[in-house]
Structure 1
Amino acid sequence: MTDAAETPRTNFIRQIVEADLASGKHDRIVTRFPPEPNGYLHIGHAKSIVLNFGLAEAFGGRCNLRFDDTNPNKENVEFVDSIQADVRWLGFDWGDRLFFASDYFEQLYAFAIELIEQGLAYVCDLSAEETRVYRGTLTEPGRDSPNRDRSMADNLDLFKRMRAGEFPDGARTLRARIDMASPNINLRDPVLYRIKHGVVHHQTGSAWCLYPTYDYTHPLSDALEGITHSLCTLEFEDHRPLYDWCIEHVSVPSKPRQIEFSRLNLEYTVMSKRRLTELVSERLVQGWDDPRMPTLAGLRRRGYTPAAIREFCERVGVTKSDNLVEMALLESAIRDDLDATVPRRMAVLRPLKVVLTNYPQDRQETMEAGNHPKDERMGSRPVPFGRAIYIDRADFAELPPKGFKRLIPGGEVRLRNAYVIRCDEIVKDAAGEVVELRATVDLDTLGKNPEGRKVKGVIHWVSVAHGIPAKVRLYDRLFRVPTPGAGGSDYRADINPDSLRVLADCVVEPALQGVQPGERFQFEREGYFVADPETTPERPVFNLTVGLRDAWGKSQP
């Protein structure tokens, strides 16, 4: 990445932080990244991570990692561990500031007692469905709960009994007493606590059967941690009055400011945790780290780098306007990063054997190939050459289309880093399928074109005697359309049936012998690839990260 790419762009939130520090409102900023551990992080979370941790780094502040673990029915340790791994992988460190909302359960309960004692919260007996009906609509005010005027003594008694486990799930809730006629539905006596029996919380075990809601927990957790700037996406803008109400009416040690920004919406994928969970649970993909998924685990397995994802987030920017980001922008970021940093190798994905009939059978030689065309510091590697080679089937056409510049019957082509060859004969099987080519090699053309001959086509190859068998997975976009499920249709119907193709009989040059999982390369003329975790010393497995250009119609920048 360039120095310019590594410099954070300014945005309205950075300007707010700068003004707050300049005015002396804060001596040091404190931000937080507050994921719910009910799934793996996706590319949208990366924008929040980069923003929150990036601001703290830029201004000498701190950023906490805090898990919003108030819904134990959907949360588990696997998700907790994966989230920590993803944040670290992106290059950020929370130091000793790892927190869980459950760390504050006792204090949150005490704050709820404060609200009851002030007449600002009450125990409600309405069912969940009745509560929704009483809340009203966007055009009609809500109605008071029959329990809204319970005495403080009764509310305290019932709330303590709720904690003690005397009532079944759904029998009672604790609600804030705000304004049932408010035009903001979030202020119409929102639920603060609900009863949940029979669940084992990954942090607190079975100690609680009473769990606070997100809208109550989040602002108070921010205040307890001394967060100065609580950054969240635009869907929480209507929740801000409730955020401020909670902070204002209990004895918290600080008063954070909530600031909203646009979430990251990316073409050709889904960003809803519910839908991502369905893709995994319904086995429409091969797990949370499937390289077609927009999860950070999936992008990592596909070969994306932390630097490319951080740069993508910077390019997207931080605004107040929701928009749909082109997939090409993400693909451009990873191409730019890998183009500058990964070595080149030759790999034949669909092998077609070519026998060089005039090349001595007992002769072998070694070509020297540069590891990077723009960076001599990356050195070179030996590439063995012999009488029989593999080329890609796509590089030969018996009946070539107009403009075809690769190998044709009677035509010449240059082998990358080697000689010019001419196709003399086609060998077919009983079904008429081309199974072998026979060609002659011009031994006077190593590294040059003889005077007067024009050889425009250059193709890659691998020696038959020295090639390494490999498996390659070609990944494409998971969905066929930019906005899956648009118009209320089932997003599953938009899944791309060709999002994964597995090529089991590929051959790669011997320099890839012993490749380690996670190593990245450009396969010349094919794209950028990464060695999958399934790679073994005997058989490497490679995943396509991104093609050399956008196969969906846009040229590589």
Structure 2
Amino acid sequence: MNDYDLYFNNYIIKIIDKDIKNNKNLKIKTRFPPEPNGYLHIGHAKSIFLNFLIANKYNGECNLRFDDTNPLNIKNKYINSIKKDIDWLGFKNKYNVSYTSDYFDEIFNFAIKLINKNLAYIDKLTINKIKIYRGNLNKIGIDSPYRNNSISENIDYFIKMRNGYFKENEICLRAKIDMKSKSLLMRDPILYRVKFTYHKRTKNKWCIYPTYDFSHCICDFLENITHSLCTLEFEENKKLYNWILNNIDINGFIPKQYEFSRLNLEYNILSKRKINFLINKKIINKWYDPRICTISGLRNRGYTPNSIKVFCKKIGVTKKNSNININILENCIKTDLYENSYRIMSVIDPIKLIIENLNDNYEEEIYVPNFPNKKLSSNRKIVFTKIIYIEKSDFCECLSNTCNKFSIGKIIKLRYSYIICAKKIFKDKKGNIKSILCFLYENTVNSIYLNNIKINKIIHWVSYKKKINSTFYIYENLFLDKYPYKNKNILNIINKNSLIIKNGFIEKSNNKIIKNRIYQFERIGYFYTKLYYKDKNLIFFNIVNI
């Protein structure tokens, strides 16, 4: 399937097809309008793919429009990170960059038009009183005492606002719609507010700034956006979106807003506000921490652009909110990495195993496939010795027949090597297992049968002599709760073991360890290294467990 077939069957595509049928000259144009007040997350990736792939399908365009209506939140590092993430996802040079501030003059003039039509007015109520006057779902709103000021008076005050005559929160411009509306949003929403804040792009030209709701729909019109796609929490905002466009006296194609479900991912929080809270509390290391699903965090974790694209395809585009199983995302990266990841045997939590019927200097070269799933796989050379390491979790002291682990008297197969039997345990003074004495069955390297009996248990190992000391960063879910976004105090559900650092070994072979190459540690998971060294140990970072 072509990359741009991902969303061909969703309801938005059907709407667009119908619009094109009714208007054959319609040039499809979408937009992705992030506020540069944080890093993008995987929920944004869903929107990015939808908007960009639709534009590509219809030979249209997609704008990356930064919502910079709140100068307090604008940071260049966020703008740069957003561009980097979109490029990394595969859309480099496939979008036009714009800013809401590009249109501040036009937006201001549209506000003047609303005032002249007696559809907007200057209000001197405090923010708290505006909230009180607005009422609630059970109580209708009350008109502001300033609602019926004359048009000339409102124009005069608005110009004074523009010229810095009023203090912040002293005055605002509101739409005059319906204070008795069932929709709280339509009870005279604020269109402009005073902010004496330096703007990174317009500098000190403006001391009043439009709200997102007022500016967004106007920008859509000015940029000839045909389909304004957003998540379901903006469904109510569509009423205001349409009201503004219907009342500012514009000609030409009027953009329409369509909503799709927001992404909720198990064991994850995608709220930029809450992610920033975790950063400030030093729970995570900034926006690119591998334990969170920001795009930069996923990239830092080792996820690929294709795995995220496939994930977006699998979850689809619907109008019903749902909680997405974390396994869907993890399976996407596993599938993406399976074919082309070099295999390595690694022991993360080692326990020593001694072969009693081999001499101390015994070394045997064994050739093993780099890609066991490929018929024409290349091979690497490893060495089998008298002393090896296995995973502590693969051994059990229990002598029960129901125990499926390697234990005294049980016979297992060492991956790519011999069949062995455990005979005796040696412990230290504290009672911890120090080593295990085993017996090796000769001529079993290429067999999984012993005396015509199939050996079903196969475990991996690393040679004591031919090993590379390594440190492993193991990641687990950051939250203990499956739905952390529903929890009022997320600090109570933090998983203290979301990052575990362990010291162990990887096999030493004739293959060099290469920076940023992804490896599958057999029976454990996928890892990559940046060739960092800690106490002369190679450091590997966990992408996903098998």
Shorter-chain TM-score tier: over 0.9
Contact 1:37 1:68 in 2 (8 A): yes
C-alpha distance in 1, partners of 2:377/2:163? 67
C-alpha distance in 2, partners of 1:5/1:49? 13
Corresponding position of 1:330: 329
Which piece of structure 1 moves more, 273-282 or 108-117?
A: 108-117
Corresponding position of 1:428: 427
Which piece of structure 1 moves more, 373-382 or 386-395?
A: 373-382
Residues 249 and 3 from structure 1, CA distance in 2 versus in 1: closer, same or farther, beyond 3 angstroms? closer
Q: SS at the partner of 1:383?
A: strand
The amino acid of 1:331's aligned partner reads E
C-alpha distance in 1, partners of 2:379/2:153? 81
Corresponding position of 1:458: 458
Contact 2:4 2:53 in 1 (8 A): no
- Return the offset for 1:101: 1.0
Q: SS at the partner of 2:106?
A: helix
Corresponding position of 1:506: 504
Contact 1:9 1:317 in 2 (8 A): no
- Return the offset for 1:230: 0.2
Residues 475 and 306 from structure 1, CA distance in 2 versus in 1: closer, same or farther, beyond 3 angstroms? same
Contact 1:67 1:100 in 2 (8 A): yes
Contact 1:344 1:524 in 2 (8 A): yes
The amino acid of 1:159's aligned partner reads F
TM-score w.r.t. length of structure 2: 0.93
Contact 1:123 1:172 in 2 (8 A): yes
Query: After superposition, where does 1:44-193 map in structure 2 within 5 Å?
Result: 44-95=43-94, 97-193=96-192
Corresponding position of 1:551: none
- Return the offset for 1:346: 0.9
Query: After superposition, where does 1:23-34 map in structure 2 within 5 Å?
Result: 23-24=22-23, 26-34=25-33
C-alpha distance in 1, partners of 2:477/2:95? 39
Corresponding position of 1:205: 203
The amino acid of 2:518's aligned partner reads R
C-alpha distance in 1, partners of 2:230/2:347? 47
Query: After superposition, where does 1:139-538 map in structure 2 within 5 Å?
Result: 139-197=138-196, 199-252=197-250, 254-448=253-447, 449-484=449-484, 486=486, 489-503=488-502, 505-511=503-509, 513-517=512-516, 519-531=517-529, 534=532
- Return the offset for 1:535: 6.3
Residues 421 and 202 from structure 1, CA distance in 2 versus in 1: closer, same or farther, beyond 3 angstroms? farther
Contact 2:62 2:95 in 1 (8 A): no
- Return the offset for 1:23: 2.4
C-alpha distance in 2, partners of 1:44/1:182? 32
Contact 1:470 1:508 in 2 (8 A): yes
Contact 1:163 1:209 in 2 (8 A): yes
C-alpha distance in 2, partners of 1:122/1:159? 9
C-alpha distance in 2, partners of 1:382/1:207? 68
Q: SS at the partner of 2:192?
A: strand
Residues 376 and 97 from structure 1, CA distance in 2 versus in 1: closer, same or farther, beyond 3 angstroms? same
Once the two structures are superposed, residues 476-529 of structure 1 have per-residue CA deviations (whole angstroms, 9 ceiling, x without a partner) of 11222222264x6423212223322211x1111235753313x32221111222
Structure 1 gap segments, 5+ residues each: 549-557
The amino acid of 1:325's aligned partner reads I
- Return the offset for 1:378: 4.5
Query: After superposition, where does 1:536-547 map in structure 2 within 5 Å?
Result: 539-547=537-545
Identity within the alignment, %:
39
Q: SS at the partner of 2:91?
A: coil
Contact 2:61 2:95 in 1 (8 A): no
C-alpha distance in 2, partners of 1:41/1:254? 31
Which piece of structure 1 moves more, 279-288 or 219-228?
A: 279-288
C-alpha distance in 1, partners of 2:67/2:377? 45
Residues 446 and 386 from structure 1, CA distance in 2 versus in 1: closer, same or farther, beyond 3 angstroms? same
C-alpha distance in 2, partners of 1:52/1:35? 13
C-alpha distance in 2, partners of 1:291/1:384? 34
C-alpha distance in 1, partners of 2:114/2:531? 53
Corresponding position of 1:553: none
C-alpha distance in 2, partners of 1:527/1:441? 28
Which piece of structure 1 moves more, 250-259 or 185-194?
A: 250-259
Residues 255 and 457 from structure 1, CA distance in 2 versus in 1: closer, same or farther, beyond 3 angstroms? same
Structure 2 gap segments, 5+ residues each: none
The amino acid of 1:46's aligned partner reads A
Which piece of structure 1 moves more, 147-156 or 462-471?
A: 147-156
- Return the offset for 1:142: 1.6
- Return the offset for 1:229: 0.3
Once the two structures are superposed, residues 193-228 of structure 1 have per-residue CA deviations (whole angstroms, 9 ceiling, x without a partner) of 11112x333333333221110000110111111100
Which piece of structure 1 moves more, 295-304 or 12-21?
A: 295-304
Q: SS at the partner of 1:544?
A: strand
- Return the offset for 1:157: 2.2
C-alpha distance in 2, partners of 1:50/1:83? 14
Q: SS at the partner of 1:540?
A: strand
Which piece of structure 1 moves more, 443-452 or 535-544?
A: 535-544
Contact 1:364 1:384 in 2 (8 A): yes
Corresponding position of 1:552: none
The amino acid of 1:328's aligned partner reads N
Once the two structures are superposed, residues 141-192 of structure 1 have per-residue CA deviations (whole angstroms, 9 ceiling, x without a partner) of 2222222222222222222221222211101111112222222222221111
Which piece of structure 1 moves more, 27-36 or 336-345?
A: 336-345
Contact 1:127 1:171 in 2 (8 A): yes
C-alpha distance in 2, partners of 1:29/1:43? 25
The amino acid of 1:220's aligned partner reads I
Contact 1:406 1:458 in 2 (8 A): no
Contact 1:423 1:437 in 2 (8 A): yes
Contact 2:4 2:56 in 1 (8 A): no
Residues 37 and 369 from structure 1, CA distance in 2 versus in 1: closer, same or farther, beyond 3 angstroms? same
TM-score w.r.t. length of structure 1: 0.91
How well do the aligned residues superpose, as a CA RMSD in angstroms? 2.3
C-alpha distance in 2, partners of 1:184/1:533? 57
- Return the offset for 1:398: 2.2
Residues 495 and 6 from structure 1, CA distance in 2 versus in 1: closer, same or farther, beyond 3 angstroms? farther
Which piece of structure 1 moves more, 131-140 or 32-41?
A: 131-140
- Return the offset for 1:258: 0.5
Which piece of structure 1 moves more, 417-426 or 46-55?
A: 417-426
Contact 1:102 1:203 in 2 (8 A): yes
- Return the offset for 1:51: 0.8
